[in-house]
Structure 1
């Protein structure tokens, strides 16, 4: 069995290594953008003046849109102009290298529950609208639970891998992203204080990022971590994440990630794969009912997965339906 899984992973690695150079010209990182203006770290003093911060980041997004137009990538420019619309709330934005952004849904200054949504592969500025739609749906679902003082942050804080690329099979990008996520969580905790309920919701490869961040000091204030559509975390058990947060896991009934071999092997000098399936009994997470949806359906309005993720984020964990 292990030999067959080894061959499967090696075949995927080789196929990805061939596919990536062929499509390199289309990589979203190829579009230039200006360096963002320096912003102060988020802290308690920043909360009363968030509108000024949001205005500054909108100006940076508009500058990136002009750069994309000048480069001839009008699709990127259109996407950026939509992001820069009045009323959008970005704590941070950087248009370089595929893009980084942290967008707020709700009133962060007043929120007593804050949820950070961490995306998986193929999330970048050209696909950001899809990620944003999920974050907006999550915020609406949170409000429907009665959690009025709540905010969701759509955190695109790292260079995500391609689904059909070598990076999606290894933890390299996640290791780099984990430091950024932990630092961001630390800023939120410092700004909001110990009374805030902080949750990480982590999709697909984003669950690898959250797992790598979980044991870092910056995430000490996180109460719950939910992994959904996860290929694994690199840890064999939830206890191996070394976090005091409650670890949840869910997988939709039609999610192709179930067919990914949940092993961790050394191939060509690199660790490939992410080990134990987080929804397996042996992992030890609290498994929630994610319904029958596919890999991209967890935040679909009206879905079982979205309802349970919203309940976890709202702190109403006794009401979460279990798988």
Structure 2
């Protein structure tokens, strides 16, 4: 039968889900407007060398750019942004890149990248940004501790994250724009550390970005967790040689998102299709425990244990393979 009569119901389902988000997700989790000015960053070029001296130079330049953005935020009167940037510029922090404009972009390293044998790239989802960057830092440090010696975590906030409660969070527009930057980062890491294992750990809307960058990726593993769907029918459609994993915690509200794709006339295609943890998607499903949507990297959690095991190349505990 034609699919057309079902489309209004699907659209209503997506709109209902957006209303649900407004109730279920704290307002503090939504992204703030990208109105805080910042100077253009210093041009550093693509990542090609992760030797200690080369990294030290990149980190020093990025710290200067962060401090310049901090001064601009203070001048603008946004003390919250300035305080966050002050923390990011602290001694010992390691940023491969930083751009404070249009809401902010950054790439931070936790651990020793020059000697890393296992590199986990964290790709965050909607509702994150510079104003509450400490959350990403907290999660990265927890994962780094779990990875142990020889592990490094790269936190990639390389795009303007959509608000959790926003139309942009229901379409692939932001992901389409972000994917080339993520691919360039992974390509650079592979060229600089050819023997290292590289895993993309993709949370929520970040999983949509990872899917867009997946074809031909140099990553060894692609992990989709807390995902609303990734815009393709199944894992084979990702056209990647990376091992594809998926997981969702028992208390994650993302489970209530309708897994459909609906064409909204004159606007865009809304929704992301098949649930990555569904049998028909074809990913290897790992046990993500029973936490909430923002709890996947909490110390002591089953999800953190399994994400670290996957990043290390081990089998996840309680995994199933379709």
TM-score, length of structure 2 as denominator length:
0.91
How far off its partner does 1:268 sit? 2.4
Which residue number corresponds to residue 211 of structure 2?
211
Which residue number corresponds to residue 19 of structure 1?
none
Contact residue 28 and residue 124 of structure 1 kept, 8 A: no
After TM superposition, list the pairs within 5 Å mapping 1:176-195 onto structure 2. 176-193=177-194, 195=195
Contact residue 17 and residue 257 of structure 2 kept, 8 A: no
Q: Which runs of 4+ in 1 moved over 2 A?
A: 1-6, 10-16, 44-49
Which blocks of at least 5 consecutive residues in structure 1 are unaligned?
17-25
Q: CA RMSD in A?
A: 2.0
How far off its partner does 1:46 sit? 5.2
Contact residue 58 and residue 90 of structure 1 kept, 8 A: yes
Contact residue 49 and residue 192 of structure 2 kept, 8 A: yes
TM-score, length of structure 1 as denominator length:
0.91
Aligned mate of 1:42, from 47, 57, 60: 47
Contact residue 17 and residue 256 of structure 2 kept, 8 A: no
Which residue number corresponds to residue 241 of structure 2?
244
Which residue number corresponds to residue 299 of structure 1?
297
How far off its partner does 1:135 sit? 0.9
CA distance in 2, matches of 1:137, 1:15: 30
Which residue number corresponds to residue 138 of structure 1?
143
How far off its partner does 1:4 sit? 3.2
For 1:30, what is the secondary structure of its paired residue?
coil
Per-residue deviation, residues 63-101 of structure 1 (Å, max 9, x unmatched) = 110000000001110110010000000000001111101
Which residue number corresponds to residue 9 of structure 1?
14
Which residue number corresponds to residue 36 of structure 2?
31
Are positions 1:129 and 2:127 aligned together? no
CA distance in 2, matches of 1:189, 1:203: 22
For 1:29, what is the secondary structure of its paired residue?
coil
Q: How many residue pairs were aligned?
A: 307
Which residue number corresponds to residue 309 of structure 2?
311
CA distance in 2, matches of 1:282, 1:253: 20
Residues 1:45 and 1:230: Cα distance change in structure 2 (over 3 Å): closer
Which residue number corresponds to residue 175 of structure 2?
174
Which blocks of at least 5 consecutive residues in structure 2 are unaligned?
1-5, 22-30
CA distance in 2, matches of 1:190, 1:44: 8
How far off its partner does 1:206 sit? 0.1
